[in-house]
Amino acid sequence: MIFTCRTFVPISPLLLNQLLPIKFVQQHQHLSQAKTNLTSLQSPVSLLPLPRFIASNSWWNWNWNSRRYCSGVVMASVNGVQDPQSISYLRQQEAAEIDEILMGPLGFSVDQLMELAGLSVATAIAEVYKPNEHNRVLAICGPGNNGGDGLVAARHLYHFGYKPYVCYPKRTPKPLYNCLVTQLESLSVPFLSVEDLPMDLSDSFDILIDAVFGFSFHGTPRPPFDDMIKKLVNLSNPDLRPSKSPAIVSVDIPSGWHVEEGDSSGDGIKPDMLVSLTAPKLCAKMFSGPHHFLGGRFVPPPIVEKFKLQLPAYPGTSMCVRIGKPPKVDISALRENYISPELLEEQVEADPFDQFQKWFDDAMAAGLKEPNAMSLSTAGSDRNLSSRMVLLKGFDKEGFVWYTNYESQKARDISENPRASLLFYWDALNRQVRIEGPVAKVSEAESEQYFHSRPRGSQIGAIASNQSSVIPNRQYLHQVYQDLEAKYSGGPIPKPKNWGGYRLKPEVFEFWQGQKSRLHDRYLDSHF
């Protein structure tokens, strides 16, 4: 069967303890049925952010469709993992010509391109190497534009929460580069001379940015860069590499590589990450490290058309996109060392509704996508547990409200066992809130009011989608939707009888704050 569904998040431990072991609701023979499509389109389609309520049952409705935006970002991220063979690679002459056109008829300045490139490098680093685990960054900058990219990247990494250091031994005496140095000095970013660098870079730094030479370099590296490149070569050599070695990130071209032939001798730097700029250079085909990114979301259509470039789509608003699949990881080794303010009992609001409102406001202020997304866990009379993601559409002292199809599985569960658990998980804040209690339908008037506040497409979708029912294929659903569009063209859309809201009245609130070494804070309130 083909499902359209949402991601699950951890469910309530207390609810689990009260239930028998989970069983699969769908039987194996059902999964083998060919050309069968089960739709579970959730009823809340548009995001209606939840400000404080002026009065009970008074809802504020925003028409900003965050769900569509979030879906686009996620799909762009998935699609952003590009097949390296489907992307254009530039020769040295082509790369130079593109730069000339960008800075000539297309009106880009050197400092503008450098800023975009450096931001792309910093963004790519932040995608893979988190500042709480790879905090100390050394940017080794050469005298040209590649070195300028490294200076810009160091500045952005500072603002991303890293602790950057810069080694810039051959400073370029031009206003642009002087300004980049001044900007870093104003942030108290240390500049280290070659003599100040430790003999073993692996003891002092978590990330080394190789921003020495770019695609226009040719010849043999001269002092002091020859020795610095040798250090990077030794650190990237698996036979010489220490057990705890810093990640090496090369900007556009691993220093010492030929822009087209790459590391033909096999004795060059073998970076862990390569951030290609504008478009990958031909040598990038020889890159064998785990992380290849393309940075520089600024290539205009005239360049794409003239050079017949095949470039990947960038995810969301990101300045970088991954090329190739990410490396396989050991799932058991995935962990996050949370850094959060402590959740002290004396700081918790006396009323758990007020505490939830406080945390919800924090999630909104943090710019989280769909902070009102919650896992809803239910169990029917058979005590089989099921969970799914739904959207909170309002809350006050009377409870937490969401809307759905009254013939869906969750509705059947609630009719047999009118209790449920909600779980909000705000990853960026290291917080989750679990809420448990009895569930009842909201009034018909409330359901009518909310239904007609939704976009027309969402209203039609509620009629078209018979949740948890089997349909022939996806096209069938589209056809039903189109028929309903024609039927109600220009007129009001009636709320289906089998569609409406539920309200969970809390009996238990649990507020969880992630902390270091798994010593998490957990505050349970069931006395209100």
User: What pLDDT, in 10s, does the model give residues 272-288?
Assistant: 999 999 999 999 999 99
490 versus 527: the higher-pLDDT residue is 490
In a domain, 185, yes or no: yes
Q: Which of 500, 478, 479, 469 is nearest to 3 (CA)?
A: 469
Residue listed under structure tokens 């000339």? 100
Report pLDDT for 337: 67
Number of domains the chain is built from: 2
User: Is 412 known to be catalytic?
Assistant: no
Cβ–Cβ < 8 Å for 154, 139 = yes
What CATH number does residue 481 fall under?
2.30.110.10
Phi/psi of residue 477, nearest 5 degrees: -65, -40
**107 and 69 within one domain:** no
The conformation of residue 90, written as its DSSP 8-state character, comes to: B
Environment class of 223 (CB within 10 Å of its CB; exposed 0-12, middle 13-18, buried 19+): exposed
**401 and 270 within one domain:** no
In a domain, 33, yes or no: no
Question: Per the annotation, where are the binding residues for (6S)-NADPHX?
Answer: 145-149, 214-220, 252
Question: Per the annotation, where are the binding residues?
Answer: 145-149, 210, 214-220, 252, 255
Number of residues that make up the chain: 528
State the amino acid at position 275 in one-letter form.
V
Q: Which of 41, 139, 90 is nearest to 294 (CA)?
A: 90
> Catalytic one among 241, 454, 518, 522?
518
pTM higher than 0.75 for the full model?
A: no
Average pLDDT, the chain: 83
**312 and 359 within one domain:** no
Q: Which two tokens stand for residue 175?
A: 């206003």
What CATH number does residue 203 fall under?
3.40.50.10260
**135 and 229 within one domain:** yes
pLDDT at 385 over 50: yes
Question: Per the annotation, where are the binding residues for K(+)?
Answer: 146, 210, 255
pLDDT at 153 over 90: yes
By DSSP bridging, strand 385-391 and strand 373-379 are antiparallel
CA distance 14 to 93: 65
**185 and 261 within one domain:** yes
The conformation of residue 284, written as its DSSP 8-state character, comes to: G
**381 and 273 within one domain:** no
User: What pLDDT, in 10s, does the model give residues 488-525?
Assistant: 998 999 999 999 999 999 999 999 998 877 778 888 88
User: What pLDDT, in 10s, does the model give residues 253-264?
Assistant: 999 899 999 987
**131 and 277 within one domain:** yes
Order of strands, sheet of 247-251, starting from the edge strand that comes earlier in the sequence: 163-167, 136-141, 207-211, 247-251, 273-277, 291-295, 320-323
Its domain, for residue 203, covers: 82-324
